[in-house]
Protein backbone atom coordinates (compact mmCIF):
# COMPACT_ATOMS: atom_id res chain seq x y z
CA UNK A 1 0.00 0.00 0.00
CA UNK A 2 1.19 3.47 -0.93
CA UNK A 3 -0.26 6.74 0.33
CA UNK A 4 -0.20 9.97 -1.67
CA UNK A 5 -0.60 12.78 0.84
CA UNK A 6 -1.19 16.51 0.41
CA UNK A 7 -3.56 19.46 0.69
CA UNK A 8 -6.57 19.84 -1.59
CA UNK A 9 -5.74 20.96 -5.13
CA UNK A 10 -2.08 19.91 -4.91
CA UNK A 11 -2.38 17.22 -7.60
CA UNK A 12 -2.77 13.92 -5.70
CA UNK A 13 -5.49 12.60 -8.01
CA UNK A 14 -3.56 13.71 -11.11
CA UNK A 15 -0.50 11.78 -9.92
CA UNK A 16 -2.61 8.71 -9.14
CA UNK A 17 -4.24 8.87 -12.61
CA UNK A 18 -0.83 9.11 -14.28
CA UNK A 19 0.41 6.06 -12.35
CA UNK A 20 -2.78 4.15 -13.12
CA UNK A 21 -2.58 4.89 -16.85
CA UNK A 22 1.09 3.93 -16.90
CA UNK A 23 0.95 0.56 -15.11
CA UNK A 24 -2.66 -0.74 -15.06
CA UNK A 25 -1.99 -3.08 -18.00
CA UNK A 26 0.56 -4.98 -15.86
CA UNK A 27 -2.15 -6.33 -13.52
CA UNK A 28 -4.84 -9.00 -13.82
CA UNK A 29 -7.43 -6.42 -12.80
CA UNK A 30 -7.52 -2.73 -11.99
CA UNK A 31 -9.91 -0.20 -10.50
CA UNK A 32 -9.74 3.55 -9.92
CA UNK A 33 -12.35 4.56 -7.30
CA UNK A 34 -12.66 8.33 -7.67
CA UNK A 35 -13.59 10.79 -4.92
CA UNK A 36 -14.46 8.26 -2.23
CA UNK A 37 -15.19 11.07 0.24
CA UNK A 38 -18.20 12.23 -1.82
CA UNK A 39 -19.52 8.72 -2.55
CA UNK A 40 -19.26 7.86 1.15
CA UNK A 41 -21.76 10.62 2.02
CA UNK A 42 -24.46 9.03 -0.13
CA UNK A 43 -26.86 6.40 1.15
CA UNK A 44 -25.29 2.96 0.61
CA UNK A 45 -22.16 4.75 -0.61
CA UNK A 46 -19.70 2.18 0.74
CA UNK A 47 -21.72 -0.70 -0.71
CA UNK A 48 -21.74 1.01 -4.12
CA UNK A 49 -17.97 1.52 -3.90
CA UNK A 50 -17.46 -2.16 -3.04
CA UNK A 51 -19.66 -3.20 -5.97
CA UNK A 52 -17.80 -0.89 -8.35
CA UNK A 53 -14.47 -2.30 -7.17
CA UNK A 54 -15.62 -5.88 -7.75
CA UNK A 55 -17.18 -5.12 -11.13
CA UNK A 56 -14.15 -3.20 -12.43
CA UNK A 57 -11.75 -5.99 -11.47
CA UNK A 58 -13.87 -9.07 -12.21
CA UNK A 59 -15.90 -7.62 -15.12
CA UNK A 60 -18.86 -9.74 -14.12
CA UNK A 61 -21.95 -7.84 -12.95
CA UNK A 62 -23.60 -10.71 -11.10
CA UNK A 63 -20.63 -11.35 -8.82
CA UNK A 64 -20.33 -7.66 -7.97
CA UNK A 65 -23.65 -7.35 -6.06
CA UNK A 66 -23.02 -7.43 -2.30
CA UNK A 67 -26.03 -5.89 -0.54
CA UNK A 68 -24.26 -4.70 2.61
CA UNK A 69 -20.75 -3.66 3.72
CA UNK A 70 -19.92 -6.78 5.76
CA UNK A 71 -20.89 -9.11 2.91
CA UNK A 72 -18.92 -6.86 0.54
CA UNK A 73 -15.81 -7.28 2.69
CA UNK A 74 -16.16 -11.07 2.53
CA UNK A 75 -16.75 -11.09 -1.22
CA UNK A 76 -13.73 -8.84 -1.89
CA UNK A 77 -11.48 -11.03 0.28
CA UNK A 78 -12.75 -14.28 -1.24
CA UNK A 79 -12.88 -13.26 -4.92
CA UNK A 80 -9.73 -11.12 -5.12
CA UNK A 81 -7.26 -12.87 -2.77
CA UNK A 82 -5.57 -14.65 -5.67
CA UNK A 83 -5.71 -11.79 -8.21
CA UNK A 84 -2.82 -9.40 -8.77
CA UNK A 85 -4.63 -6.05 -8.86
CA UNK A 86 -4.01 -2.33 -9.04
CA UNK A 87 -6.46 -0.41 -6.88
CA UNK A 88 -6.58 3.38 -6.53
CA UNK A 89 -8.62 4.72 -3.61
CA UNK A 90 -8.94 8.43 -4.34
CA UNK A 91 -9.76 11.13 -1.78
CA UNK A 92 -10.17 8.92 1.27
CA UNK A 93 -11.06 10.72 4.50
CA UNK A 94 -12.29 8.00 6.92
CA UNK A 95 -10.63 4.85 8.18
CA UNK A 96 -13.94 2.99 7.71
CA UNK A 97 -13.60 3.54 3.95
CA UNK A 98 -10.25 1.76 3.90
CA UNK A 99 -11.50 -1.00 6.18
CA UNK A 100 -14.40 -1.70 3.81
CA UNK A 101 -12.39 -1.56 0.58
CA UNK A 102 -8.82 -2.66 1.36
CA UNK A 103 -8.30 -3.45 5.04
CA UNK A 104 -5.26 -5.67 4.48
CA UNK A 105 -2.85 -6.43 1.67
CA UNK A 106 -3.74 -10.13 1.93
CA UNK A 107 -7.23 -9.34 0.59
CA UNK A 108 -5.49 -9.23 -2.81
CA UNK A 109 -3.05 -11.46 -4.66
CA UNK A 110 0.73 -11.27 -4.40
CA UNK A 111 2.16 -8.28 -6.27
CA UNK A 112 -0.98 -6.16 -5.93
CA UNK A 113 -0.67 -2.42 -5.43
CA UNK A 114 -3.13 -0.26 -3.50
CA UNK A 115 -2.64 3.51 -3.84
CA UNK A 116 -4.52 5.82 -1.47
CA UNK A 117 -4.83 9.58 -1.96
CA UNK A 118 -5.76 11.61 1.10
CA UNK A 119 -5.30 14.89 2.97
CA UNK A 120 -5.15 13.01 6.28
CA UNK A 121 -1.70 11.79 7.40
CA UNK A 122 -3.00 10.05 10.54
CA UNK A 123 -5.38 7.98 8.40
CA UNK A 124 -2.39 6.51 6.54
CA UNK A 125 -0.52 5.93 9.81
CA UNK A 126 -3.51 4.22 11.47
CA UNK A 127 -3.99 1.99 8.42
CA UNK A 128 -0.28 1.05 8.51
CA UNK A 129 0.34 2.09 4.90
CA UNK A 130 3.78 0.88 3.77
CA UNK A 131 5.00 4.01 1.98
CA UNK A 132 3.82 7.62 1.90
CA UNK A 133 4.60 10.24 -0.74
CA UNK A 134 4.05 13.84 0.38
CA UNK A 135 3.11 16.02 -2.62
CA UNK A 136 4.85 19.38 -2.43
CA UNK A 137 3.56 22.69 -3.70
CA UNK A 138 4.93 23.83 -7.04
CA UNK A 139 7.90 26.18 -6.93
CA UNK A 140 7.70 29.54 -8.73
CA UNK A 141 9.22 28.29 -12.01
CA UNK A 142 6.93 25.24 -12.18
CA UNK A 143 3.88 27.38 -11.43
CA UNK A 144 4.93 29.95 -14.04
CA UNK A 145 5.33 27.26 -16.71
CA UNK A 146 2.01 25.55 -15.94
CA UNK A 147 0.14 28.85 -15.87
CA UNK A 148 1.84 30.15 -19.03
CA UNK A 149 1.21 27.01 -21.09
CA UNK A 150 -2.49 27.16 -20.25
CA UNK A 151 -2.93 30.93 -20.44
CA UNK A 152 -0.63 31.76 -23.38
CA UNK A 153 0.14 28.37 -25.01
CA UNK A 154 3.86 28.98 -24.42
CA UNK A 155 6.32 28.55 -21.54
CA UNK A 156 6.26 32.19 -20.39
CA UNK A 157 3.78 35.05 -20.46
CA UNK A 158 3.73 37.71 -23.14
CA UNK A 159 5.50 40.89 -22.05
CA UNK A 160 2.38 42.94 -21.23
CA UNK A 161 1.03 40.17 -18.99
CA UNK A 162 4.20 39.46 -16.94
CA UNK A 163 3.20 41.49 -13.88
CA UNK A 164 -0.37 40.19 -13.83
CA UNK A 165 0.89 36.61 -14.26
CA UNK A 166 3.13 37.09 -11.20
CA UNK A 167 0.09 38.29 -9.22
CA UNK A 168 -1.91 35.23 -10.28
CA UNK A 169 0.92 32.82 -9.38
CA UNK A 170 1.39 34.49 -6.00
CA UNK A 171 -2.35 34.24 -5.30
CA UNK A 172 -2.48 30.52 -6.23
CA UNK A 173 0.31 29.73 -3.77
CA UNK A 174 1.80 26.81 -5.71
CA UNK A 175 -1.46 24.84 -5.97
CA UNK A 176 -2.00 23.47 -9.50
CA UNK A 177 -5.79 23.40 -9.16
CA UNK A 178 -5.87 27.08 -8.10
CA UNK A 179 -3.71 27.96 -11.11
CA UNK A 180 -6.03 26.06 -13.45
CA UNK A 181 -9.12 27.78 -12.04
CA UNK A 182 -7.48 31.18 -12.48
CA UNK A 183 -6.51 30.38 -16.08
CA UNK A 184 -10.05 29.28 -16.89
CA UNK A 185 -11.30 32.69 -15.74
CA UNK A 186 -8.54 34.70 -17.48
CA UNK A 187 -7.83 32.92 -20.77
CA UNK A 188 -8.41 35.09 -23.83
CA UNK A 189 -9.35 38.16 -21.78
CA UNK A 190 -7.94 41.68 -21.97
CA UNK A 191 -5.49 43.20 -19.49
CA UNK A 192 -8.34 45.26 -17.97
CA UNK A 193 -10.39 42.09 -17.47
CA UNK A 194 -7.37 40.34 -15.91
CA UNK A 195 -6.87 43.22 -13.47
CA UNK A 196 -10.55 43.21 -12.54
CA UNK A 197 -10.62 39.43 -12.01
CA UNK A 198 -7.42 39.41 -9.93
CA UNK A 199 -8.66 42.35 -7.83
CA UNK A 200 -11.76 40.30 -6.97
CA UNK A 201 -9.52 37.43 -5.84
CATH number at residue 113: 3.40.50.300
Q: How far is CA 79 from CA 7, 105, 157, 180, in A?
A: 34, 14, 53, 41
What is the pLDDT of the chain when averaged over all its residues? 93
List the domain range (segments joined by +) for residue 176. Answer: 140-200
Based on the domain organization, do 101 and 195 belong to the same domain? Answer: no
Task: Give the predicted TM-score (pTM) of the model.
Answer: 0.84
Based on the domain organization, do 93 and 158 belong to the same domain? Answer: no
Residue 171 has pLDDT above 80, yes or no: yes
Based on the domain organization, do 58 and 147 belong to the same domain? Answer: no
β-pair partners for 4: 117, 133
User: What pLDDT score was predicted for residue 21?
Assistant: 97
**DSSP strands (E only) in 18-175:** 29-33, 85-92, 113-118, 131-134
Based on the domain organization, do 11 and 108 belong to the same domain? Answer: yes
User: What pLDDT score was predicted for residue 61?
Assistant: 61
Confidence of residue 62 (pLDDT cuts 50, 70, 90): low
Based on the domain organization, do 121 and 176 belong to the same domain? Answer: no
User: What pLDDT score was predicted for residue 63?
Assistant: 64
Distance CA 151, CA 28 (A): 41
In this prediction, residues 103-117 reach a mean pLDDT of: 96
Confidence of residue 60 (pLDDT cuts 50, 70, 90): confident
End-of-domain residue from the set 115, 134, 153: 134
User: What pLDDT score was predicted for residue 76?
Assistant: 95
Based on the domain organization, do 176 and 159 belong to the same domain? Answer: yes
Based on the domain organization, do 125 and 145 belong to the same domain? Answer: no
Based on the domain organization, do 112 and 188 belong to the same domain? Answer: no
Distance CA 96, CA 103 (A): 9
Which is more confidently placed, 17 or 177?
17
User: What pLDDT score was predicted for residue 65?
Assistant: 84
End-of-domain residue from the set 134, 156, 177: 134
Amino acid sequence: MVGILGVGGIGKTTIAKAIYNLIAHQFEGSCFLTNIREHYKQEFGLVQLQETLLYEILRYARSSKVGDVDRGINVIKHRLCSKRVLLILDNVDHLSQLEALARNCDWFGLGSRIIITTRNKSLLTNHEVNFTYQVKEMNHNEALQLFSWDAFKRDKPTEEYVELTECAIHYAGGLPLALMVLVSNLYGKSIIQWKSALDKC
